[in-house]
Each structure stands twice: as C-alpha cells, then as structure tokens.
Structure 1
Amino acid sequence: MTKRKKMREPREFLALLESARRDEVGGSAPRKHHLVPASYLRRWAEDGKIRVTHIDRKKSHLSPPEKAARETDYYRLESPDIDREAVPPLLFEKMLGEIEGVSVGIVDVLTRQGPEALSLAQRAEFSFFLALQVTRGHSFRVANRLMVRDYFQLKYEGVTTDGVHRMLTEAGMPSTAKDVEAAYAQLQEIVNGDVFFEPQDPSIVAQSGSMAAAMGEHLFARNWYTFETKPILVTCDEPVIMIGGPPRSRKERAGVSTAGAIIFPLGPSALLAMFLPHVRPRGPMQLDRVETAEINREIVASTSRWAFEKPSRHITEKMPVPAPAPPFMREGPYPVEGDENRLIFRTFQPTRWANTVPPPWPVERWWS
C-alpha cells in the first residue's frame, strides 16, 4: 500500500504520547475499554439504546452503545518489561480513539456515496481501521495465546532425558542426573498442559497493531462495494467477517489474504463487501431480504460473545448457530518430500460449522 497516508506526523504522535501520559498521571482516562467502537454501535441505536445478545447464552438486553462490549483495561500496555515513560499504558487506547474518530466520517461516505467517493488516503485509513477490528478482539487474542502454548507443547513433545541433558549442556547449565531429572519433569508439565507459556496481554496488544498494518494492505487492494440491505442488518464484536467462498471449506476460517469476500456492516441498511481482485460480484448493489438474512447468519456465526442490532429487533436472539469450535487446531505431522528428517504441521481456526453440516455460502450470485 505504497500510497497509504501515514496516520500521524512525528509531532502529532508525540502529542498523543503526552496525552496518554497526562491521563495516566491524572487518572482521568476510563478503565472500561470498548471492543467495538461506541461511535460505530450508535448506528444501530434507537432512543439511545441498542440490543446486545450474548450469542451462546441466548441472553439479550438493551444498553446504551457507550456501555456495550466493554472490558476493564483491555488495551492497557502495562508490564514490568515495559518502560511506562516510553510507552504509556494508555497509548493504544488513545490511538484507537484517534483512528475511530477518523472512521466515522468515512463510514458516512461509504454508506451514502460508496467506495468510489473515497480518496486514496481515506481508503488507506479505513483499511487500517478495519484491520484493527480483526486484531483487537477476543478471537485474535485467544488464538494467539493457544498458538504459543501449542508451539511449546509441540517443541518438547517426545523429549528424552538424553535430549534434556544435551539441551542443558549446550546452554552451559548444570547437567547432573538430578538436574536432568528436574528439567525433564518440568518439560513434561508443559507437554501435558499443566504448565504453559503464553504472551502477556500487552505483548498481544502491541502485536495486534503491527499485524493490522500488514492486514490493511490486503484490504486496501481488494475490490470494494457497498450493498444496500433491508433495514435488518446486525453486527457483532468481530464485525470484519471473512467469507471464504467456494471452493474453500466452510469449516475453516479464511484469512484476510485468502477470503473470497470480507464483509463489514456499515449500519442496519448498508454492508461493505471487499472481494479478491479477480472476484466481481454479479447482480444489483442491493441485497434482498433472503440475502440479508444469509449475511446476518454469517455475522452471528462469527461472533465471539456479543451481537448487536436495533432494540426493536430480535434477530440475534433467534438466529440459530452452532456452539463455537476450538479457536485453534493443529493437524499433522506430515512428511516433507525429499527430507525424511523433517515434518510439517498445519494449523487453522475452525468456524462454528466445523462439527455440523454447514449451510451454503451466502449470496449465491457473488460466487457464480
């Protein structure tokens, strides 16, 4: 994305740092952080309320957008390994606020005029905003933790006492029989899942920002379309939804670079759909009631916890979707052709359709 406008000039970034430091010292910043921007959820509000449904509990309530989908200190960058002066704990939350503020006007343009009305700078800014919606949520965090745990379990699976002795010796550590026995017992606890390594939340928060920059480039390069829908469109706490499309499996979550379509509800009556460069959707730029219902099913099925809609609607309460699958799975090992000493593993994120007969891909005309 070579033409993407830099989000901030150095002087502006320094001002952001200073603002985060002041809020931390003064204690004026809220500790409740939004997983989804309140400014975005307001598009579904009626009389200042939206409907919030916990999908797997099938419990629903009305809430002001400002109080929906929040967690305490969710983006806080605080750790003994982080210099609070160099990286204020509230920096990421401050950055999100700035990016969300820019996105409000861009959503208005997309809804009323379509992607063609965006400047390259606006398209770049919104690509980054969308990528952050992918990496800021629960799905990204849980999968990240499990992948790190799995890496260490896999690394030490099948380790022998001879192997432990060799590792200790190469590391210059004591390697008596007692040392080897103790180290071997510790590694077995890791393999069995009794002890595990996982990244700290501040590390995941920082990684979410760096990964969003790369994801944004893929989103920027896609074909963007705005579809008008019936005024029944819902959204969720993972509002950027990957739709693999044929011939991909319905049971595995597609990635930002591989999904045939990536959708983002702009409001109750508008949907942004971003297709791979070679995919050109057929038909009108309006979705009928059946197509909108199919999209709603995809949105609800992509939910980590909460789905949102107009308070006068009950779609998210009544939409049947399977229970969530494990957030991360590994297959293998598989032999590497030409190298009998090497093995490879395949990892992926299952969808809610992993353990059931999945429905057809939504909006059939997109794929024909």
Structure 2
Amino acid sequence: MTKRKKGQVPPGFLALIESARRDEAGGSAPRKHHLVPASYLRRWEEDGKIRVTHVDQKKSHLSAPEKAARETDYYRLESPDLDESALPPLLFEKMLGEVEGMSVGVIDALAEHGPDVLTPKQRAEFSLFLAFQITRGHSFRTANRLMVGDFFKMQYEGVTREGVRQLLIERGMPATETDIEAAQAALREVTEGDLVMQPQDAAIVAESGSVAIQLGEHLFARDWHTFETLRLLVTCDEPVVLLGGPPRRRDERAGVSTAAVAMFPLGPSKLLVMFHPRMRPRGSLRLDAVETAEINREIMSATSRWAFEQPSRHVTERMPVPPPAPPFKREGPFPMAGDGRKQLFRTFHPTRWANTVPPPWPVSRWW
C-alpha cells in the first residue's frame, strides 16, 4: 500500500473535482437532486412505479423512483465565500453518486446472504453510505440551522452595553457610541427572535459530509444482522432509523454511537439491523406480522416528509403517526458543580413520539 503524504489530495477526489468542473462548464448535470437514491427506491418498484406518501399532508401518489424525493440544487455548493474553481458547486452531488454506486451490490449481498459475506472494504464503504443517509436529508439540515441560531442567541442574551463595546474592540471594529447602539440593536433582534442567524446552505452541505465520515466508523463497529420480514416493509426519506431502547426516552432521538439499534430497510422483505456492540439479537432472524408492523411504525415516525413502499401496498397511507416535533430542543440551564458562574445546557432532537403517549419499543424480544 502506498502511503499518502500529509496534505496530499487523493487521486480519486481530484477526479471527482475535475468531473464536477466539466459538468458545471457543460451544463450537463441534472439540477434535480435525490434526497434518497433512486437506485435504492427501485427495490420497491412494481411496473416502474413506487408509492410515495407525504406523511404529514396525508397525500399519496405513484411515481417512478427517478422522480421521487427530489429537490432542485439541493446539494449544490454555491456561496460568495467559495472559489468555484477550487470547489465546484456539483462536487457533493458527484461524491454522493460515487458512494451510492458502491452500495448497490452490497445491498444485494446483504439481502440475499447476510453481512457475513461482506469484505471489510465493502462493509466500510456501506457504512459510509449509511452515514450519508443520516446527514444528507432535511432532518440533519433543519436541526443544524436551529442549533447554530440557538447557540448565537444564547451567547448574546443579556449582554451589556459595555460587553458590546468590548466585543467590537476584540474584533477590531469601531466602537463609537453610534456603533455600540447599532450593534446592540442588532443583537436585540437576534435574542428576541426577529433576526435569525444560521449557516449558509453550502456550509451545511459540507458539514454533512464531514459528519458522515465520523458516523460511518460507529456504524461499521456495530453487530450487523439481516432480518426477513413479510413483504410489507416500507422505507422513508430518513431510512437509517435509530432506536435508543429501554431505559432511554422514547421522545428523544438516539445518537449513532449510543443507539441500541440502527435499522435500514434493504427492500420490501429485508431489514438490516445493526445492534450496539454490547447487545446481541434474541430469537429468530425473521420478524412476524406484528413485529413487521412495529418496524414500519418506527420507519414512518422517522420520516421528514416522504415514506415509500410498493405501489400495490397502502401501509404508508393508512398508518397514522404523530406530527413532527421541533427538530431541536434545549433544556436548562443546570448549575455546574464547583463553579456557580457557569451553567450547563442539554440539547437533543425530539422524535414524533414527543407529541403523544409513545408505543412500546418495537420487537420486544430485542430488549
């Protein structure tokens, strides 16, 4: 194996950059970007169609997989602060295409033979694919925006006039009385919610790639098993579903490193379940009718907007789930032991079960 020098860009990444540049220059790249890969959604296809249900609008229609769950320029890296010659706007979309291409054969192998047939390289590549499914959708973006805005608001709540003056001086900015008044007025708009601070879309797209690499390592280390289900399994636009498991809170989304179970539907009758290293699956690798329905309920509850299934089925139309909760929540402040001047806050991502009495955890034998 050839050791790459520190700071040297991998040849494969340079090829992606060049390909993105060519497509941008030629205007040949599609502007409709998939939130979920079309190659994945084809696994629910019948006669060229899948059923697409907007969960909260209670609307359902049939669509070709290639036309489902798309948004214009969703992954485009475009900002006045970015040099397009160094970082082409289409780079992230190109990178996702490479990751998705590596996943197709692995999903086939997992569905037909289980995880034991995967090589370490295939498992690592598919872990990265799964991690991108966590960070590429609306859930990650919305929570990211709200967290940044909330942090900025919390940081400047209660700042005094003298504090504003010091902030301006520290940043090398003029600190006349007029400047202080203007800065105070701007901060007041932020803390009162009239002005919202949030990162640019390009920054969130880039962040999603960075976070995915970290999450992939945790998914790789889990205990993987393929479960067979009745041919009723659905999927959604957030297809990696994280279950905290007892005694964790049902109304709070678990993290990738702490969740007892991470699930990913492989098709209408196959489910990849990745258990925490401290857990072991109990019972059969086949889910009965009740367990399959429970899993479908969890997949539906993880949805940001769309759920998908075979066009001849109507599970996503008929299965009710609560409305979405706020993507981000902060609790506190809590006093810190030994330092009365500092405060501790807790942040988390609520689930749809925050709005109602939650059902028991699915597949009770797992716990």
TM range, normalised to the smaller chain?
A: over 0.9
Cα distance in 2 for residues equivalent to 1:53 and 1:64 = 13
1:33 corresponds in structure 2 to 33
Q: How do 1:99-248 residues align onto structure 2 when only pairs under 5 Å count?
A: 99-248=99-248
1:351 corresponds in structure 2 to 351
Deviations 1:76-127 (A, max 9, x none): 1111111111111111111111111110000000000000010000000000
Q: Is the CA contact (8 Å cut-off) linking 2:323 and 2:355 kept in structure 1?
A: no
Identity of aligned residues (%): 71
Q: How do 1:1-368 residues align onto structure 2 when only pairs under 5 Å count?
A: 10-367=10-367
Cα distance in 2 for residues equivalent to 1:83 and 1:129 = 27
State the shift of 1:14 in Å: 2.0
Cα distance in 2 for residues equivalent to 1:352 and 1:43 = 27
Cα distance in 1 for residues equivalent to 2:173 and 2:83 = 30
Cα distance in 2 for residues equivalent to 1:202 and 1:306 = 23
State the shift of 1:218 in Å: 0.3
Deviations 1:275-330 (A, max 9, x none): 11110110000000100000000000000000000000010011111000000000
Structure 1 counterpart SS, 2:124:
helix
- Which structure 1 segments of 5+ residues have no match? 1-8
Q: Is the CA contact (8 Å cut-off) linking 2:52 and 2:309 kept in structure 1?
A: yes
Structure 2 counterpart SS, 1:245:
coil
CA RMSD of aligned residues (A): 1.0
Deviations 1:132-187 (A, max 9, x none): 00000000000000000001100111112222123233334333333222211110
State the shift of 1:194 in Å: 1.1
Structure 2 counterpart SS, 1:61:
strand
Residue 59 to residue 179, structure 1, CA distance change in 2 (3 Å): same
* Paired residue total: 359
Deviations 1:28-59 (A, max 9, x none): 11000000000000000000000000000000
154-163 or 321-330, which deviates more: 154-163
Residue 177 to residue 11, structure 1, CA distance change in 2 (3 Å): closer
